[in-house]
């Protein structure tokens, strides 16, 4: 039997991501005890029913008592507040990580909020679905996916914590990489946040046409392209505001590309269109 990396784990926020982590940790026996905190009773009951936790708590302070690893899995704007709230109750030597989709703000705020002797390493499993909540949580959600880590100031403690977290993510089947928080946010703005915005915006544009009646004829292309527009509006509002600077820069690039397309179409520039489409098609096929 593999020695546990962490004996006691607390997952704070039993939603899609926190719940799926808890399910994997329990079913793969990667820890001895798993505590879960969720503010709503429904989420706690769903976690018990799915056997995702040994014990669930209505207060985060109670859930983190004696935990060797604390995983913060609430919305990005809430994660630093949650860290501050549990800070006085953390065990000396505990490791804290989070799963937030943005990193720079979170890493900066949390590194200041935790007591000495507690190591924080930001994390982001790039996996998910357009569903949310514990009822949507599933096993093996992270298999074959990237799990990015964004350590703050490096010291021996945080390097050791990083190694253990990478091993844990790999035990869930994920591939890991280490990035600076700023670079993480710029990359995610490009590959995740901008695509969500364009999906929402495309549906919005089609809704404004013929009072939205055209949408009923939508087939494969529209459905494939807009699947992620069914994602949680609260979560995406949160992410846009948290990653404002990187997202605004990426939106400028996108606007520029749209302007190029518009110009090619207006000027009947077939060669220009074909060039842009071919370059994109080739990159997409290699994905």
Nearer to ligand NAD, 28 or 39 (CB): 39
Burial class (CB in 10 A: 0-12, 13-18, 19+), 186: middle
Nearer to ligand NAD, 76 or 119 (CB): 76
Kindly state the smallest distance separating residue 39's Cβ from ligand NAD, in Å: 4
Strand partners, 12: 37, 72
Give the residue among 77, 72, 12 at the shortest CA–CA distance from 43.
12
Nearer to ligand NAD, 130 or 183 (CB): 130
Give the residue among 62, 41, 30 at the shortest CA–CA distance from 172.
30
Place of tokens 């983190």: 64
Nearer to ligand NAD, 17 or 113 (CB): 17
Q: What is the DSSP letter of 109?
A: H
HSE-up of residue 107 (Cα within 13 Å, Cβ side): 23
Kindly state the smallest distance separating residue 9's Cβ from ligand NAD, in Å: 16
Q: Is 101 helix (H, G, I), strand (E, B) or coil?
A: coil
Kindly state the smallest distance separating residue 164's Cβ from ligand NAD, in Å: 20
Nearer to ligand NAD, 89 or 269 (CB): 89
Strand partners, 124: 148
Helix (H) or strand (E) holding 119: strand 119-125
Kindly state the smallest distance separating residue 139's Cβ from ligand NAD, in Å: 15
Give φ, ψ of 217 to 5 degrees: -90, 0
Sign of the dihedral through C-alpha 177, 141, 72, 35:
negative
Kindly state the smallest distance separating residue 68's Cβ from ligand NAD, in Å: 21
Binding site for ligand NAD (CB under 6 A): 13-18, 38-40, 43, 73-76, 78, 99-101, 124-125, 128, 132-133, 232, 235
Nearer to ligand NAD, 125 or 151 (CB): 125
Kindly state the smallest distance separating residue 74's Cβ from ligand NAD, in Å: 4
Q: What is the DSSP letter of 199?
A: H
């Amino acid at each position: 039997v593999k020695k546990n990396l962490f004996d006691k784990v607390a997952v704070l926020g039993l939603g899609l991501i926190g719940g799926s982590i808890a399910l994997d940790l329990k079913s793969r026996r990667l820890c001895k005890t798993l505590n879960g905190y969720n503010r709503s009773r429904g989420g706690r009951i769903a976690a018990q029913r799915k056997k995702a936790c040994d014990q669930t708590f209505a207060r985060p302070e109670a859930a983190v008592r004696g935990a060797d690893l604390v995983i913060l899995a609430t919305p990005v704007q809430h994660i630093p507040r949650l860290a501050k709230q549990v800070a006085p109750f953390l065990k000396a030597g505990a490791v804290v990580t989070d799963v937030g989709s943005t990193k720079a703000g979170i890493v900066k705020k949390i590194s200041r909020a935790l007591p000495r002797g507690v190591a924080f390493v930001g994390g982001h499993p790039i996996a998910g679905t357009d569903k949310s909540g514990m009822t949507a949580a599933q096993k093996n959600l992270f298999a074959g996916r990237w799990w990015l880590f964004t350590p703050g100031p490096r010291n021996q403690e945080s390097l050791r914590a990083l190694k253990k977290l990478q091993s844990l993510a790999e035990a869930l089947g994920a591939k890991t990489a280490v990035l600076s928080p700023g670079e993480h946010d710029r990359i995610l703005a490009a590959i995740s946040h901008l695509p969500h915005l364009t999906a929402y915006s495309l549906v919005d544009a089609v809704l404004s046409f013929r009072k939205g009646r055209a949408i009923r004829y939508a087939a494969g292309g529209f459905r494939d392209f807009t699947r992620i527009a069914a994602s949680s509006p609260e979560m995406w509002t949160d992410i846009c505001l948290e990653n404002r600077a990187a997202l605004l820069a990426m939106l400028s690039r996108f606007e520029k590309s749209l302007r190029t397309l518009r110009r090619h179409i207006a000027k009947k520039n077939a060669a220009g269109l074909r060039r842009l489409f071919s370059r994109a098609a080739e990159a997409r096929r290699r994905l």
